[in-house]
Structure formats: structure tokens, C-alpha cells
């Protein structure tokens, strides 16, 4: 009898392919979830390193770094209100970036951030300042226009809070220590800048100033995802965006007496976490810079804009919330469902109120 060679029938082959496809469909989401879990953990570790750096700075100097400093004494030697550097520059030696820090100067002129310091920091990528889950570019499209593109971080310091719900409460509102700049357009307002938190403009705070306790006061969190404007545009607005991690503040005043509307790499809580589209209405696209006709500038009157918006919401590409570090160095994941009142209390160092579970 002639031998017969076994083989799959067409029906059997289709069944096998269908089973494999089903298994892949079940497996891929699990793999993606595992990868995102790893990225979120990596991001939390980055923020933990930054929080530990703040701890080390406070122990070494007897005070925290200013969130965004000017160049007047004690931060520099200028006699005018020139723009200094941010807390992210001050802590560079604490995150193994001493070589870069040694080449920077804290005594800049009005354009110092764009020339001498930016010449040193151009195209430099600092891994600790980047969240692996973030889709945002490390170099803002405006920033790369210049000869000296400086890295735009995915993290921000918490300067305090200034929510609308507190404006009618004289006690809470006074704790916010708000400088309000209602400018809008291409340049150069900010929104509501608070001096009630951890990393405040021109701050010289020590941990003894945290009357609510360092474990109850936010210090650092994320701004790592795109926001949506009322025109549907996806924009990479963040507190350290167009000018990068160098661009600080002005003068040497704090709180309500702060000089100038802008302060880089710090934010003041005004909106809920992951409010990426202004509650569905979209953030105001505003005017555009003629040099960048496709890039909306926003409206800094609401604090959410291209030019160091003071109230850009905490946000991330993680599911359901953001990583955040407290002044005591602990890191937690804040769910986007946290109430604005609770989030704001966590951002103020001495509001005196109790914080419910979050």
C-alpha cells in the first residue's frame, strides 16, 4: 500500500491561527501594562532622586533651593531684575551632574539664560529629568529654534496653590501668597504664582517653615503629557517648556511681592490632576507667534500657556494619575480623582487644615 503523509487540513490551520490570534490579543495588553508599570516605577524613582537631592541641599545649605531665582542678592550679584536659574540647576551636584553645574553661572544678565549658560547646557539630556512614559519632546519646538536648545523637563516643582475655590476664603487665600499676572498672548505673563509651597520663586525656606509637616507638603510632580486647546491642537505646554530647565525668575522678592510674571520649572495648583483639556472645553489656544504659526501660545491669564504658565495642571501619560514627591522625600502616586481642595492643601506648607485620605 502507498504511504500517506499526514498534514493539516485548511480548517485545522485556520483554527490554529485563530487560537494564536486570540492568545496574542489577550497577551499584548498584559505585556503593555507590564511595560507601563515598569516605566511608571522608573518615573517614580526619578522623582525620588530629585526629592532626595532637595533633602541633601537643605542639609548642606540650611535652606531649600529657590524654585526659580533672580540674580539679585542672595542668589546673584546683579543690581537689576535679571533672570536667574531654577531649582533644577541648584540640585545638579546632588544628582551626579557636578561637571555641568561647575560650568554654569548664577549671575546672569537679562539674556544670560540664552547665552552663557545655555551655551553650556545646549543639547544636554539629563536622564533624571525625563519620564520614560512621556510622549513630550525633550526639546521644545520653540526652544530648538535657538542656537542653544536646552532640555525641557517632564517634572515641575510645587510652588503652592491658588485655586478659584479659595479666593472667597480670606484665611486660605492669604496662605497662598499669590502674585497674579493676568497677562496673555505670546509673551510674557504667567497666571497665579503662589509663594505658599515648597519650591517658591526666590525662596529661602528651611524645613522648619513647614508647619503642616514635610510629609504633608508636596514638592515635585509631573507635567509629562500633551494638553488640548479649544482648537483641538495638542500642545506640549509645561512650566519648564519653551525655555528649558535653566530659565528661573526675577528679582529677589517672594509671594505677593514677586517681580515679573514668569518663573520657570515651578507650578501653582489651580486645576485638578490630568485636566488636559480644561474639562472638555479645551485650553485657550490664543494667538500664535508669527515665527511659529502652527504653535498656539495660549492665554496666560488662566495660567495655562506656552510661556511658563504658572498654573499648568499636573499631568502625565500614566493611567489615572501622577507620581509626586513630598518634602520629606517620600513618593506617592496621586490619583486624578483627588479633590482640588485636598490637592491644594497638600501644596501649601502651612494652611493649618487637615487632609483627608487621598
Specify the pLDDT at position 51: 97
Q: What is the pLDDT of residue 63?
A: 96
Give the start-to-end residue ranges of the domains of the chain: 28-347
For the stretch 68-88, pLDDT in tens is 998 888 888 887 788 889 999
- Read off the C-alpha cell for 187: 509673551
Q: Indicate whether this model's pTM tops 0.85.
A: yes
235 membership: H or E segment, kind and range: strand 234-235
What pLDDT score was predicted for residue 2?
55
Beta carbons of 180 and 260 less than 8 angstroms apart = no
C-alpha cell at 91: 540640585
How far is 344 from 229, CA to CA, in rounded Å?
A: 24
The pairing of beta strand 155-161 with beta strand 266-269: parallel
pLDDT at position 5 is 56
Residue linked to cell 501653582: 268
Mean pLDDT of the chain: 88
Report pLDDT for 116: 79
Q: How far apart are CA 349 and CA 218, in angstroms?
A: 8
Give the mean pLDDT of 56-70. 95
Reported as a single tens digit per residue, the pLDDT across 158-201 is 999 999 999 999 999 999 999 988 666 667 768 999 999 999 99
Q: What is the pLDDT of residues 305-352, one digit of tens each?
A: 887 889 999 999 999 999 999 999 999 999 999 999 999 999 999 998
Assigned C-alpha cell, 205: 525656606
| 33 Cβ contact partners less than 8 Å away, ≥ 6 residues apart | none
* Residue length of the chain: 358
* Amino acid 286: pLDDT: 84
Amino acid at each position: 500500500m502507498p504511504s500517506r503523509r499526514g498534514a493539516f487540513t485548511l480548517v485545522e490551520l485556520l483554527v490554529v491561527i485563530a487560537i494564536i490570534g486570540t492568545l496574542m490579543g489577550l497577551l499584548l495588553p498584559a505585556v503593555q501594562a507590564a511595560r507601563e508599570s515598569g516605566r511608571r516605577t522608573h518615573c517614580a524613582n526619578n522623582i525620588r532622586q530629585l526629592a532626595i537631592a532637595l533633602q541633601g541641599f537643605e542639609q548642606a545649605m540650611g535652606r531649600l533651593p529657590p524654585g526659580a531665582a533672580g540674580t539679585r542678592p542672595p542668589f546673584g550679584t546683579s543690581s537689576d531684575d535679571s533672570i536667574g536659574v531654577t531649582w533644577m540647576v541648584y540640585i545638579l551636584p546632588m544628582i551626579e551632574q557636578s561637571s555641568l553645574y561647575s560650568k554654569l553661572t548664577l549671575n546672569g544678565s537679562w539674556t544670560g539664560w540664552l547665552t552663557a549658560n545655555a551655551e553650556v547646557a545646549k543639547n544636554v539630556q539629563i536622564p533624571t529629568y525625563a519620564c520614560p512614559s512621556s510622549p513630550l519632546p525633550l526639546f521644545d519646538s520653540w526652544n530648538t529654534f535657538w542656537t542653544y536648545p536646552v532640555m525641557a523637563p517632564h517634572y515641575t516643582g510645587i510652588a503652592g496653590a491658588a485655586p478659584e475655590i479659595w479666593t472667597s476664603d480670606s484665611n486660605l487665600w492669604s496662605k497662598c501668597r499669590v502674585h497674579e499676572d493676568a497677562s496673555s498672548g505670546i509673551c510674557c505673563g504667567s497666571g497665579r504664582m503662589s509663594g505658599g509651597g515648597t519650591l517658591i520663586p526666590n525662596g529661602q525656606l528651611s524645613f522648619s517653615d513647614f508647619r503642616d509637616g514635610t510629609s504633608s507638603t508636596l514638592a515635585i510632580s509631573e507635567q509629562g503629557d500633551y494638553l488640548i486647546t479649544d482648537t483641538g491642537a495638542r500642545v506640549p505646554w509645561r512650566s519648564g517648556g519653551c525655555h528649558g530647565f535653566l530659565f528661573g525668575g526675577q528679582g529677589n522678592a517672594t509671594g505677593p511681592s514677586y517681580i515679573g510674571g514668569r518663573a520657570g520649572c515651578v507650578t501653582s495648583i489651580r486645576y485638578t490632576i490630568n485636566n488636559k483639556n480644561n474639562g472638555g472645553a479645551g485650553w485657550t489656544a490664543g494667538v500664535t507667534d508669527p515665527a511659529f504659526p502652527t504653535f498656539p501660545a495660549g492665554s496666560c491669564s488662566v495660567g495655562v500657556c506656552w510661556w511658563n504658565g504658572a498654573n499648568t495642571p499636573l499631568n502625565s501619560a500614566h493611567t489615572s494619575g501622577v507620581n509626586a514627591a513630598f518634602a520629606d522625600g517620600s513618593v506617592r502616586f496621586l490619583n486624578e480623582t483627588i479633590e482640588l481642595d485636598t490637592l491644594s492643601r497638600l501644596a501649601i506648607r502651612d494652611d493649618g487644615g487637615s487632609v483627608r485620605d487621598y
